[in-house]
Amino acid sequence: MSKQISAKEAVAKIKDGMTIMVGGFLGCGSPEKLIDELVASGVKNLTVIANDAAWENKGVGKLFVNYQIKKYITSHLGTNETAQAQYNNHDIDIEFVPQGTLAERVRAGGMGLGGVLTPTGLGTMVAEGKTVINIDGKDFLLEKPLRADVAIIGASKADKEGNLMYYGTAQNFNPLMAMAADLVIAQADELVEIGQIEPQNVHVPAILVDFLVM
């Protein structure tokens, strides 16, 4: 059965109050078509997990402009003035996570791990309320895994089975998020026949992709 559906059909699977992961790094590798459809849908009270807030007119940043986010788990807001204003005005709940820790928490969610141990954030606001574990005389923060109801991710190329590949840095968070959500929707820039992506170039195997949008 074909995994291809329209962006509108894909976004209809996202409901008010869901937790979603959005791939991309300052818009690079972001599923722009899916984000635009999500804005048009008006779905609200979302918990969003993403590396950054991009810009008001690019990437996941468009969701801030439309006031669709209730909670944001991220490493960076600095490029999006609307997101900063919502945070400063207490209109939105922000959980800041160091970038490497964010990636590892998503990976832990995808791998079924109970969390990751890291020294990053010790002695800072990042450590507030978290468990500190001492191993061989050194303290580590226990950072819990992240999962989502839905992940919307970008891809440079997909085959008709749903295998995905990326050019350059477009990978960023996309392959990790494909492992850490109950439902994965991928938007690809190019569609090819099965077998036209060499096995060694498959960055996300088709078994992880539920739906494909072109």
Percent of the chain as helix, strand, coil, to the nearest 5 = 30, 30, 40
Share of residues in the chain with pLDDT > 70 (%): 100
pLDDT digits over 126-174, tens only?
Answer: 999 999 999 999 999 999 999 999 999 999 999 999 999 999 999 999 9
Residue of 21, 74, 14 whose CA lies nearest to 44: 14
Q: Where are the beta strands (DSSP E) in the chain?
A: 19-22, 46-49, 69-74, 93-96, 116-118, 132-135, 138-143, 148-155, 157-159, 164-165, 181-188, 191-192, 211-213
Cα–Cα distance measured from residue 47 to residue 188, given in angstroms and rounded to the nearest whole number: 24
100-134: pLDDT as tens digits: 999 999 999 999 999 999 999 999 989 999 999 99
The strand pair at 93-96 and 148-155 is best described as: unpaired
The whole-model pTM stands at 0.96
Looking at residue 129, its amino acid is G
Q: In which band, very low, low, confident or very high, does the pLDDT at 34 lie, cut at 50, 70 and 90?
A: very high
Q: Residue 18 — very low, low, confident or very high, per pLDDT cuts 50/70/90?
A: very high
Q: Domains in the chain and their CATH numbers? A: 7-114+146-213 (3.40.1080.10)
- Residue 100: the pLDDT is 97
Alpha helices per DSSP H over the chain: 7-11, 32-41, 62-65, 81-88, 99-111, 174-179
The phi, psi pair for 126, rounded to 5°, reads -60, -30
List, for residues 72-94, the tens digit of each pLDDT value: 999 999 999 999 999 999 999 99
Q: What are 202's two structure tokens? A: 């498959």
* Residue 130 CA to its chain's centroid (Å): 23
What pLDDT score does 198 carry? Answer: 96
Please tell me the predicted confidence (pLDDT) of residue 182.
98
- For residue 153, CA distances in Å to 50, 93, 109, 131 come to 11, 23, 16, 31
> Which pLDDT score, from 0 to 100, does residue 1 have?
74
